[in-house]
Structure 1
Amino acid sequence: MTTLTKTEDSPAPTGPDSFLSVRDLKVRFSTEDGIVKAVDGLSFDVERGKTLGIVGESGSGKSVTNLTILGLHNPRTSTVEGEIVLDGKELVTATERELERLRGNKMAMIFQDPLTALSPFYTVGRQLSEPYMKHKGASKKEAKDRAIEMLTKVGIPQPKMRFDDYPHQFSGGMRQRAMIAMALMCDPDLLIADEPTTALDVTVQAQILDLLKDLQQEFGSAIIFITHDLGVISHVADDLLVMYAGRAVERGSVREVMREPKHPYTWGLLSSMPRLDSSVDEALEPIPGSPPSLLNPPSGCPFHPRCAFRDQVPGTLCSDTRPPLGEGRAAACHLTAEQKQTIFIDKIQPRLR
């Protein structure tokens, strides 16, 4: 069942520049063990021509959020509440036929593993051409010409010859490039990239990231870039949303969040990253504990069972009360602004230098 609700706590839209607006999104799955709160009250905006990075550990709700935007959740086993507005079109209440017209045409996704996303039974050229013929009403020749053009743009060598190859004949980097070409075939206004460089070596990874930035400048697409790697996101995104246990815990520009993070979870993510100038014997500082079960998430702040600074908050505020995430540059944490500044300067900043 899919329902549409609004709450008084949902932030107001940020303005006319918001191309995609998500408000108080909640996605829940019915399982034999109970209800999984995969996304629990998420709000954000993406502007045209900008890239929003979404980071968090596995199970934080990143991929579920973006599959829901595309309408790829199973309505028989999931419940969706809230608002998803793409260029003025409400998606939560849209019919499957309306979503089919939008998918691949106005919005598209680059999946994490192209080997499983691409069908092994059809040539790469056919898989690129068919959506273009469906959405644009193009002839077979027009679709083939467009596919070869896009394979050229993403750097596939000898695109006319590779058009008739099958996915297993492409290398990992070439399959990822083909996935990008497929996503961009119909010039979508919104491109969702779900950890598109995870399985690639660092050289190919850098090439793919540069390619996405170049194509965004050419096509003017809004991009949502999902990853668990803050090092990657710092090079591709304009704004950053940090997710934990289905919620947004910190938001701001990439520069603001990377230079002066304000949430203990973000501190943990940054502190656990290796540095080029660190000694090979220097131990990383992992975040203690494990991500919570979304079947029975913690009360109050979802991060409080793993937070090293919860004893600086008086009483049981962290365990009893959910901290709000305000508008603009914000972090959902009960620590005062003065406490955050002191902790960051004394304990976090020295690890990041």
Structure 2
Amino acid sequence: MTTLTKPEDAPAPAGSDAFLSVRDLHVRFSTEDGVVKAVDGLSFDLERGTTLGIVGESGSGKSVTNLTILGLHNPLTTTIEGEIVLDGKELITATEAELERLRGNKMAMIFQDALTALSPYHSVGRQIGEPFRKHTGASKREARERAIEMLEKVGIPHAQRRVDDYPHQFSGGMRQRVMIAMSLVCNPDLLIADEPTTALDVTVQAQILDLLKDLQQEFGSAIIMITHDLGVVANMADDLLVMYAGRAVERGTVREVLKSPQHPYTWGLLGSMPRLTADVDEPLTPIPGAPPSLLNPPSGCPFHPRCGFRGEVEGSDRCVDIRPELPEGRGAACHLTLDQKSRIFTETIRPRLG
């Protein structure tokens, strides 16, 4: 097989030292009912070879953020402000032609539902080979050989034969492997995995996560892992970002956030998970209420309508009137003091978690 390399990227202006830097990102959608504030002032960094987990309920802005990085929103209905710099290249102001050169080549995404993300009209080999041909100038034969190579790499048996099969001929776990092969065919520097293990049984989930870790070690990719499952980020991620109502409410290393969470929302997420030591009949503890409408988000702290610890904050209306800021580095956007957070977690939350 002919060895092909990616075309060299043009020199980019100097930016953040981080491989991926997102600063004060705002994403708004215009609808008939009003303006949806899907992402509201989000900032984070990601280094090469590391994994960032992003967790939160549906509607918290996780997927919107990452689709913005890829430039996949409709420009006619979307307003984007802030800064996204990938390896020194500013993405928000990039042209569509520039983004097309980056998508699939320098950055790629594993979508949540492989059956809908894959075309039913083309074989998996053609779909895997298409971005390889586009970004490297490979021939059809070379693209087919590369597709077989990638299918073997992600653990598809009999890749020489199955390269000509269609998505409906694969199981859910195998389709997800095909999606991973397509995402990694050009060795991207940034891989975004949006709920890559949804609807898969636990055995296949573990295989997919192990595969992503092995491929990250081989290619040195930076990974953003979007998930509802804190068990997945505990196994995969180096750092963790907790999102709520389009904002980051807590961040730190995975160990810091899961061992000593500081935000009441994070406490709620951990408390709603089943525990191995719990009685089989013990009910889960859900977070009260529902996520807010992003057409008209709450004032102050967005979590205050659902928070059971507002009474601990000095000043009865502070949570309602003042938006808490997320500090740089380890921390949480909450008006509770560090001493209060430590005491509440130790006395109230930790005993519930077991």
TM-score, normalising length from structure 2?
0.95
Q: Tell me, what secondary structure is at the counterpart of 2:19?
A: strand
Q: Which residue of 1 aligns with 2:3?
A: none
Does the Cα contact within 8 Å between 1:240 and 1:252 map onto a contact in 2? yes
Q: CA deviation at 1:14?
A: 11
Q: Matched residues in 1 for 2:16 and 2:171: separation?
A: 43
Q: Which residue type is aligned with residue 198 of structure 2?
A: T
Q: Which residue of 2 aligns with 1:315?
A: 316
Q: CA deviation at 1:82?
A: 0.1
Q: Matched residues in 1 for 2:113 and 2:172: separation?
A: 9
Q: Which residue of 2 aligns with 1:254?
A: 254
Q: Matched residues in 1 for 2:330 and 2:184: separation?
A: 31
Q: Any idea what the Cα deviations from partners look like across 1:79-130, whole Å, max 9, x if unmatched?
A: 0000000000000000000000000000000000000000000000000111
Q: CA deviation at 1:145?
A: 1.1
Q: Which residue of 2 aligns with 1:10?
A: none
Q: Tell me, what secondary structure is at the counterpart of 2:296?
A: coil
Does the Cα contact within 8 Å between 1:241 and 1:248 map onto a contact in 2? yes
Does the Cα contact within 8 Å between 2:36 and 2:295 map onto a contact in 1? yes
Q: CA deviation at 1:282?
A: 1.0
Q: Matched residues in 2 for 1:292 and 1:346: separation?
A: 29
Q: Which residue of 2 aligns with 1:188?
A: 188
Does the Cα contact within 8 Å between 1:52 and 1:239 map onto a contact in 2? yes
Does residue 119 (structure 1) correspond to residue 119 (structure 2)? The answer is yes
Q: Summarize the alignment of residues 136-215 of structure 1 with structure 2, pairs less than 5 Å apart.
A: 136-215=136-215
Q: Which residue type is aligned with residue 192 of structure 1?
A: I
Q: CA deviation at 1:315?
A: 2.3
Q: CA deviation at 1:30?
A: 0.3
Does the Cα contact within 8 Å between 2:16 and 2:85 map onto a contact in 1? no
Does residue 46 (structure 1) correspond to residue 46 (structure 2)? The answer is yes
Q: Which residue type is aligned with residue 205 of structure 1?
A: Q
Q: Which residue type is aligned with residue 168 of structure 2?
A: H
Q: Identity percentage over the alignment?
A: 78
Q: Matched residues in 2 for 1:148 and 1:102: separation?
A: 23
Q: Matched residues in 2 for 1:82 and 1:138: separation?
A: 37
Q: CA deviation at 1:139?
A: 1.2
Q: Matched residues in 1 for 2:39 and 2:207: separation?
A: 32
Q: Matched residues in 1 for 2:193 and 2:37: separation?
A: 23
| Shift >6 Å, 4+ stretches | none
Closer/same/farther in 2, CA of residues 292 and 111 from structure 1, 3 Å limit: same
Q: Which residue of 1 aligns with 2:86?
A: 86
Q: Which residue of 2 aligns with 1:61?
A: 61
Q: Tell me, what secondary structure is at the counterpart of 1:73?
A: coil
Q: Which residue of 1 aligns with 2:6?
A: none
Does the Cα contact within 8 Å between 2:16 and 2:88 map onto a contact in 1? no
Q: Any idea what the Cα deviations from partners look like across 1:280-301, whole Å, max 9, x if unmatched?
A: 1111110000000000000000
Q: Matched residues in 1 for 2:130 and 2:210: separation?
A: 27
Question: Aligned-residue CA RMSD in angstroms?
Answer: 1.1
Does residue 231 (structure 1) correspond to residue 231 (structure 2)? The answer is yes
Does the Cα contact within 8 Å between 1:272 and 1:285 map onto a contact in 2? yes
Q: Matched residues in 1 for 2:20 and 2:51: separation?
A: 11
Q: Matched residues in 2 for 1:29 and 1:123: separation?
A: 35
Q: Matched residues in 2 for 1:145 and 1:235: separation?
A: 33
Q: Which residue type is aligned with residue 139 of structure 1?
A: S
Does the Cα contact within 8 Å between 2:62 and 2:226 map onto a contact in 1? yes
Q: Matched residues in 2 for 1:143 and 1:249: separation?
A: 44
Closer/same/farther in 2, CA of residues 14 and 288 from structure 1, 3 Å limit: farther
Closer/same/farther in 2, CA of residues 269 and 203 from structure 1, 3 Å limit: same
Q: CA deviation at 1:68?
A: 0.4
Q: Matched residues in 2 for 1:15 and 1:297: separation?
A: 31
Long gaps (5+) in structure 1? 1-12
Q: Which residue of 1 aligns with 2:8?
A: none
Does the Cα contact within 8 Å between 2:25 and 2:43 map onto a contact in 1? yes
Q: Tell me, what secondary structure is at the counterpart of 2:288?
A: coil
Does residue 220 (structure 1) correspond to residue 202 (structure 2)? The answer is no
Q: Any idea what the Cα deviations from partners look like across 1:138-185, whole Å, max 9, x if unmatched?
A: 111111111111100100000010000000001100000000000000
Q: Summarize the alignment of residues 263-282 of structure 1 with structure 2, pairs less than 5 Å apart.
A: 263-282=263-282
Q: Which residue type is aligned with residue 248 of structure 1?
A: A
Does the Cα contact within 8 Å between 1:14 and 1:45 map onto a contact in 2? no
Q: Which residue of 2 aligns with 1:295?
A: 295
Q: Matched residues in 1 for 2:45 and 2:211: separation?
A: 24
Q: Matched residues in 2 for 1:38 and 1:189: separation?
A: 26
Does residue 349 (structure 1) correspond to residue 330 (structure 2)? The answer is no
Q: Any idea what the Cα deviations from partners look like across 1:242-261, whole Å, max 9, x if unmatched?
A: 00000000000000000000
Q: Matched residues in 1 for 2:202 and 2:174: separation?
A: 14
Q: Which residue type is aligned with residue 75 of structure 2?
A: P
Q: Which residue type is aligned with residue 167 of structure 2?
A: P
TM-score, normalising length from structure 1?
0.95
Q: Matched residues in 2 for 1:349 and 1:312: separation?
A: 18
